[in-house]
């Protein structure tokens, strides 16, 4: 036999290195991406979106306030306007997310005539108190999220959502 014949050991070595290399790459790539991604992304987080709502007009009764940003849905791209339920709690402005914590429908303040002082989800009858606290025995398992808010030149600006801090 010729002496450049690949021995069994060599063969295994080659193949295993090859496979191992792929596996390592498979594992490393996402890790590298995770590590680098935050650097590449713009700091979108702390952005506040202006609304046309005068802070002095906000009352104790939750009211819809819209604010716009761009969103791409499955096959329909649009400049989606998002909504918050905004009210004053003493001097503090509260802005709650209208997204139901069950499966994501949009909740309405006083949406059910039987519960005029609660948020109501039309999809499966989920309900929340004014603070966003979910009412037990309705489908949602957690309270409504809260938006960060700030005031600029007398107008309300809305930021990121965060877990409810009132409940």
Partner 1 sequence: MYWNSKDISVFVEQKEFVDTAVIPLLLIDGQASKLKQNASSAEFLMALTAFIENQFKGRVILMPPVSYTTKTNRQQLGQEWDEMLKEAGFKHLFFVSSDMGWVNEESALNVIYTPSIPLENMDRKLRQSVLDDQLRQIIPVFAKRWASTT
Chain contacts with partner 1 (rule: CB under 8 A): 66, 68, 73-76, 78-81, 100, 102-106, 121-124, 139
From 53, 67, 102, 118, residue interacting with ligand FES (rule: CB under 6 A): 102
Smallest separation (angstroms) from partner 1 to the CB of 106:
5
Tell whether residue 126 is a contact of ligand FES (CB under 6 A): yes
CA distance 123 to 105: 7
Smallest separation (angstroms) from ligand FES to the CB of 136:
13
Residues 112, 101: contact at Cβ < 8 Å? no
Return the number of other C-beta atoms located less than 10 Å from residue 157's C-beta: 20
Task: For ligand FES, give the closer residue by CB, 139 or 159.
Answer: 139
Site string for ligand FES, 25-54 (x = CB under 6 A): ------------------------------
Task: For partner 1, give the closer residue by CB, 63 or 88.
Answer: 63
Residue 49 interacts with which of partner 1, ligand FES, none, CB < 5 to 8 Å by class: none
Helix (H) or strand (E) holding 33: helix 8-40
Residue carrying the six token digits 């594992």: 27
Helix ranges (H only) for the chain are 8-40
Smallest separation (angstroms) from ligand FES to the CB of 120:
9
Looking at residue 55, what DSSP letter applies?
A: G
Question: What is the β-pairing status of strands 63-72 and 77-89?
Answer: antiparallel
Structure-derived torsion over alpha carbons of residues 114, 104, 60, 134, reported in degrees to the nearest 10 = 60
Which residues of this protein are in contact with ligand FES, per CB under 6 A?
100, 102-105, 121, 123-124, 126, 139-140
């Amino acid at each position: 036999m010729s002496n450049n014949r690949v021995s069994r050991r060599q063969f295994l070595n080659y193949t295993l290195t090859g496979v191992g290399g792929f596996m390592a790459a498979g594992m490393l790539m996402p890790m590298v991406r995770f590590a680098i991604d935050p650097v590449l992304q713009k700091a979108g987080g702390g952005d506040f979106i202006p609304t046309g709502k005068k802070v002095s007009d906000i009352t104790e009764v939750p009211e819809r306030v819209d604010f716009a940003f761009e969103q791409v849905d499955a096959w329909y791209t649009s400049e989606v306007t998002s909504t918050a339920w905004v009210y004053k709690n003493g001097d503090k402005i509260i802005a709650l997310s209208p997204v139901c914590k069950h499966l994501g429908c949009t909740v309405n303040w006083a949406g059910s005539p039987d519960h005029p002082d609660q948020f109501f989800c039309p999809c499966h009858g989920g309900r929340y108190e004014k603070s966003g606290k979910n009412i037990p025995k309705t489908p949602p398992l957690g309270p409504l999220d809260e938006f960060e808010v700030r005031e600029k030149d007398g107008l309300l600006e809305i930021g990121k959502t965060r877990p409810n801090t009132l409940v």
